[in-house]
A and B are shown apart, each in its own frame.
Chain A
């Protein structure tokens, strides 16, 4: 703003005020606007660059790639097995980390039983800093599958240790964590590291084929997306007398907001990510509802309904629920000017015109997307194909966080507020003991407090 005249009546425009300015971190963030609000009939698919994963059925051969697993629970162990299936005899799991010995032991056991590989005992580490030992153990790849709260710190450490990364979504629970992931993602790019983020729909033939159909203008310009993850109650664990507060919270992590980000972030981010991917941009504001009806433990909601808006006014309508005895649906519907596309991870994907006539349908490919994403990672490493999904996934997680904050507060929340927010959930230090967190934990009540 250059206001050089001796103005006697001026107003605040932007950040320049009172004759001095330039404070870093205070300005507003320019959203990723493409200025594409014109009513042109042709959709802006053509202009869009999307980095397709390689999608080979068989990974190329090469030197043995060694992976370390950080977080040996259900998903970590599952990811280890998916990785071993994807790479066959050309890959190994050589190191493990977890905060609990019993989880580590069961992981060793399952890997041995299902793949025949034995992880050496000296490479199994327990504790909050066990991930650092895995990074030091000579692995090429780390698979990060702890509760999402720990992801940003571990991802950054992995990148700084020059490891390729497979990390499960969501990759953070709060804006501070998101920014840490975004910065580490740029470091990974600069260092030539490959990153896959567990958004397996982007590695699923069915989704990629629908995406290609839509990019060939099958349903015209996209106008609205509906995204759903309405399912039954997820697992929970009741506290045991021998467990400390921290131990119980981590064992029950999908029910605690600071560990999981709430279920809109932890689970529904998959569907939100599909909408962002198909639109080629993320929403810039959210207004939503949510509540807690049936969840037995923790401090989270069990239902959300969010209306998201893109910078050009288009909308994403999202609902998610974890309550038994209700109608379930986990899918995405993209509405366009000439028809609509229906996608879901299982079942048939279809594209229909405005009259409901079928234009396209697709059944599943035989390779599981959970295995395919590891095949893609291995291929990108061996063929040195630049591939890094961290930024796009971070954006999708941020959208989910934006929805959560809107529902918790009852207020409209913008992308800029989130991107500049210093919200950081959970305790500052992690110790296995009583951390005094739960005595203050409460379920959010909309309309009671402003939050940015």
Chain B
């Protein structure tokens, strides 16, 4: 019996020893892993893997590095959430992503410019981190503009991020503009010869419109009337349920602009109608019902062109109302009727007489992101690149019309670049309510939103 007791004692002692050793080991691991976490969270360690030195240059010029209180904000302070708010999880995710990129990707292929856009930056700049340092959004020194903006933020916290407005505080951008843009719309072509009259149009032929009093001209294509199947067959790849059922639709002949309405064209309207700012005297003018004028846009806040450039690039970011008002103005100055196309006209024009998913060869799936199989069998995206500006080739910016080729009707960018407003109200079941063989349908009589058609510079071919 004694021997059992002694063995038991021995075990108990050993158990304590094992627990003790385990405890020491645990502390050592914890200490060293803390060391590892710390060592891999320095700016220098970030710099080692992130081989894009301009990011460090722009960081060093930013207010997060050079500020009046002399605090230097490091990489992880913005690019990881605060400790205790998912720090470790995000660190592991970020490390895995970075390690993967470091080993398997060529840093020369990275689109750094796209990564610093709001859309992508919000995935690796943490709102909690901004709030962690800046927990008083209403300091007494806040400017009036800041008050309005922070008030708006406080009323819309779920939809907004700090970097919606403060995108350039972490990395300096000399071109960033944060102000009311009163210079906007100065096209700088005042010295060019101005057109004195609008184009004369005889018959249904292509023509070049010249906007009187401006230096702007643009091409209009004569689209012959015809009949086509609106919508897509149920068997078509990547099809949405609101694209059917297919109906036969007749469209009368019409004209359509060769390219999307360009900034040059839109700015002609802008500079002809824009006011210095809206009158604040809303009380006094209330009863003047007989105003006979087209009201112009107010000076924009920031850059409506997203800093992508103006000129022949499509005019973007305007409201539906602005688009309609532009048409109204253009009609007035040219003496013709310009309007947004109906959805049927748009689709007829975009198809250019074809019945396939694209007006060029191929199925949607052929142009999906190059995958392993795709690489093996040489399915490429070369063909689509000739015609469509989309996520894979746009660098997330609008492109000038000369980078694509026209469709059979001579129209460019019907399938990409910027999406386009149509005149029709949107309804999910609009096609079911169409009568087969109808001529020039106009969509539902009313609705909440208007139809917007086609893909755009951020559209992907895969879900």
Measured CB to CB, the residues of A under 8 A from B are: 3-13, 17-25, 27, 29-30, 159-160, 162, 179-180, 182-184, 186-187, 189-191, 257-258, 299, 408-409, 419, 422-425, 428, 437, 440-442, 444-445, 448-449, 451
Chain A residues with CB under 8 Å of B450's CB are 11-12
Q: A21 and B138: CB pair below 8 A?
A: no
> Would A187 and B426 count as touching, CB distance under 8 A?
no
CB-based contact A23/B283 at 8 Å = no
Contact A440 B149 (CB under 8 A): no
- Within the complex, the shortest CB–CB distance from A269 to chain B, in Å, comes to 19
What are the residues of chain A within 8 A of B306 when measuring CB–CB? 20
CB of B203 closer than 8 Å to a CB of A? no
Cross-chain contact A25 with B152 (CB below 8 angstroms): yes
Ranked 9 nearest A-B pairs via Cβ: A183-B147, A11-B426, A440-B284, A19-B456, A186-B138, A12-B449, A187-B138, A11-B449, A424-B280
Main secondary structure of the interface of A (DSSP, over half): loop
Once the chains bind, are B287 and A6 in contact (CB under 8 Å)? no
Contacts of B459 in A (CB 8 A): 3-7
| Complex contact A190–B452 (CB within 8 A) | no
Q: Which of B75-83, B125-133, B158-166 is found at the contact surface with chain A?
A: B158-166
Q: Do residues B155 and A18 form an inter-chain contact, with CB atoms below 8 A?
A: no
In whole angstroms, what is the CA distance A4 to B119 when docked? 12
The residue of chain B having its C-beta at the shortest distance from the C-beta of A409 within the complex is B286
Residues of A within 8 A of B159 (CB): 27, 30
Considering the chains assembled together, what is the distance between the CA atoms of A3 and B319 in angstroms? 19
Residues on B lying within 8 angstroms of A by beta carbon are 118, 136-140, 142, 144, 147-152, 154-156, 158-159, 164-165, 232, 238, 240, 242-243, 278, 280-289, 301-302, 306, 316-320, 343, 364, 390-391, 398, 417-419, 421, 426, 449-463
- Contact between chains at B280 and A422 (CB < 8 Å): yes
* Known interface pairs A183-B138, A190-B136, A451-B286; A12-B426 also in contact (CB < 8 Å): yes
- Chain A residues lying within 8 Å of B164, measured Cβ to Cβ, are 22, 24
Interchain CB contact under 8 A, A441 and B283: yes
Whether the Cβ atoms of A12 and B282 lie closer than 8 Å is no
Whether B316 and A19, one on each chain, are in contact in the complex, defined by CB atoms closer than 8 angstroms, is yes
- Cα of A433 to Cα of B280 in the assembled complex, Å: 20
Which A residues are CB-close (under 8 A) to B418? Answer: 18-19
Is A440's CB under 8 angstroms from B281's CB? Answer: yes
Min CB distance, B359 to chain A, in Å? 12
Q: Once bound together, how far apart are the Cα atoms of A4 and B164, in whole Å?
A: 20
Nearest CB of B to A6, in Å: 5
Residues of B with C-beta under 8 A to A13: 449
Structural contact, B463 and A10, CB atoms closer than 8 A: no
Q: Would you give the shortest CB distance from B173 to chain A, in whole angstroms?
A: 15
In the complex the two chains form, is A9's CB within 8 Å of B453's CB? Answer: yes
Q: Chain B residues with Cβ under 8 A from A3's Cβ?
A: 459
A422 touches B278 (CB 8 A): yes
Report the separation of the CA atoms of residues A8 and B358 in the bound assembly, to the nearest whole angstrom: 11
Interchain CB contact under 8 A, B287 and A442? yes
Q: How far is A23 from B316 in the complex, measured between Cα atoms in Å?
A: 12
CB pair A19–B301 under 8 Å, yes or no, is no
Q: Within the assembled complex, what's the spacing in Å between the Cα atoms of A276 and B75?
A: 46
In-complex Cβ contact of A9 among B278, B316, B398, B451 (8 A): B451
Q: How far is the CB of B236 from chain A (nearest CB, A)?
A: 10
Provide the bound-state CA to CA distance between A195 and B450, in Å. Answer: 46
Q: Report the Cα distance A358→B100, complex, angstroms.
A: 75
Find out whether the CB atom of A449 lies under 8 angstroms from the CB atom of B280.
no
Q: Which residue of A lies closest to B154 (CB)?
A: A186
**Closest residue of chain A to B458, judged by CB?**
A19
A409 to B139, CA, bound (A): 38
21 chain-A/chain-B pairs, Cβ below 8 angstroms: A5-B460, A6-B390, A6-B460, A6-B461, A8-B243, A8-B454, A9-B343, A18-B421, A19-B398, A23-B302, A24-B152, A24-B165, A25-B152, A27-B159, A159-B140, A183-B148, A183-B151, A187-B147, A190-B136, A428-B280, A448-B286
| From A5, A23, A180, contact of B238 by CB (8 A) | A5
Seed contacts A5-B463, A9-B453; 9 additional CB < 8 Å A-B pairs = A6-B455, A12-B426, A18-B318, A19-B457, A25-B148, A190-B137, A423-B280, A441-B283, A448-B286
List, in ascending order, chain B residues with CB within 8 A of A183's CB. 138, 142, 147-148, 150-151
What chain B residues lie within 8 Å of A20 (beta carbons)?
A: 306, 316-317
Partner of B463, one of A4, A160, A422: A4
Contact between B287 and A448, CB atoms less than 8 A apart: yes
In the complex the two chains form, is A24's CB within 8 Å of B301's CB?
yes
B33 to chain A: closest CB distance in Å? Answer: 36
Min Cβ gap B424→A in Å is 10
Question: Would you give the shortest CB distance from A360 to chain B, in whole angstroms?
Answer: 37
Q: Which residues of A lie under 8 Å from residue B147 when comparing CB positions? A: 179-180, 183-184, 187
Q: How far is the CB of A263 from chain B (nearest CB, A)?
A: 16
CA distance A5 to B463 in the complex (A): 5
B142 contacts across to A, CB distance below 8 A: 183, 187
> Is B283 touching A8 in the complex (CB atoms < 8 A)?
no
Residues of A within 8 A of B152 (CB): 24-25
Instruction: Determine the distance from Cα of A3 to Cα of B453 in the docked complex, in whole angstroms.
Output: 13
Nearest-Cβ distance from residue A436 to partner chain B, whole angstroms: 10
**Contact between A24 and B419 (Cβ–Cβ < 8 Å)?**
no
Of chain A, the residue at the smallest CB distance from B260 is: A18
Tell whether, in the assembled complex, residue B452 and residue A17 are in contact, meaning their CB atoms are under 8 Å apart. Answer: yes
A59 to B319 alpha-carbon distance, docked (Å):
57
Residue pair A191, B140 in contact (C-beta under 8 Å): yes
Residues of A contacting B463 with CB < 8 Å?
A: 4-5
Q: Find the B residue at minimum CB distance from A437.
A: B284
Distance in angstroms between the alpha carbons of A58 and B76 in the assembled complex: 54
Q: In the complex, A3 Cα to B152 Cα: how many Å?
A: 25
- The answer to whether B426 and A179 touch across the interface, beta carbons within 8 angstroms, is no
Checking B138, B280, B283 against A189 with a beta-carbon cut-off of 8 angstroms, the contacting residue is B138
CB nearest to A161 among chain B residues: B140
Question: Is A190's CB under 8 angstroms from B287's CB?
Answer: no
B148 partner, pick from A179, A257, A409, A442, beta carbons under 8 A: A179
- List the A residue with the shortest CB-CB distance to B455: A6
> Inside 8 A of A428's CB, which chain B residues have their CB?
280
> Closest CB-CB distance, B3 to chain A, in whole Å?
69
Q: How far is the CB of B282 from chain A (nearest CB, A)?
A: 5
Given A8-B232, A8-B243, A179-B148, does the pair A187, B139 have CB atoms closer than 8 Å? yes
The smallest C-beta distance from B457 to any residue of chain A, in angstroms, reads 5
Nearest A residue (CB) for B119: A22
The answer to whether B243 and A9 have CB atoms under 8 Å apart is yes
Does the CB pair B286–A160 fall under 8 Å?
Answer: no
Q: Which residues in A have their C-beta under 8 angstroms from that of B426? A: 11-12
Q: By the criterion CB–CB under 8 Å, are B453 and A23 in contact?
A: no
CB-based contact B301/A186 at 8 Å: no
Contact assessment for A186 and B283 in the assembled complex, using a CB-CB cutoff below 8 Å: no
With contact pairs A11-B426, A19-B398 given, residues A444 and B240 touching in the complex (Cβ less than 8 Å): no
CB distance from B297 to the nearest CB of A (A): 13
Candidates A7, A30, A422; contact of B240 at CB < 8 Å: A7
The answer, among A12, A419, A424, for a CB contact under 8 Å with B155, is A419
Residues of chain A contacted by B148 (CB below 8 angstroms): 25, 179, 183
Chain A hits for B461, CB < 8 A = 5-6
Complex: chain B residue closest to A159, CB-CB: B140
Q: Are B317 and A23 in contact (CB under 8 A)?
A: yes
- Whether the pair A182, B156 counts as a contact (CB closer than 8 A) is no
User: From residue B307, how far is it (CB to closest CB) to chain A in Å?
Assistant: 10
| Cβ 8 A contact of A30, one of B151, B156, B284, B391 | B156
Query: Across the two chains, which residue of chain B brings its CB closest to A188?
Result: B138
Q: How far is the CA of A448 from the CA of B144 in the complex (A)?
A: 34
Q: Find chain B residues with CB under 8 A from A424 CB.
A: 280, 282
Chain B residues whose CB sits within 8 angstroms of the CB of A5 once the complex forms? 238, 240, 459-463
- Report yes or no: B317 in contact with A160, Cβ–Cβ below 8 A: no
Which A residue's beta carbon lies closest to that of B280? Answer: A424
**Which residues of chain B have C-beta atoms less than 8 A from A423's C-beta?**
280, 282
* Shortest CB distance A10–B (Å): 6
A448 touches B453 (CB 8 A): no
Residues of A within 8 A of B137 (CB): 186, 190
Contact A8 B453 (CB under 8 A): yes
Q: Known contacts A5-B462, A8-B455, A186-B137; is A29 also within 8 Å of B283 by CB?
A: no
Residue in contact with A21 in the complex, picked from B301, B317, B391, CB distance below 8 Å: B317
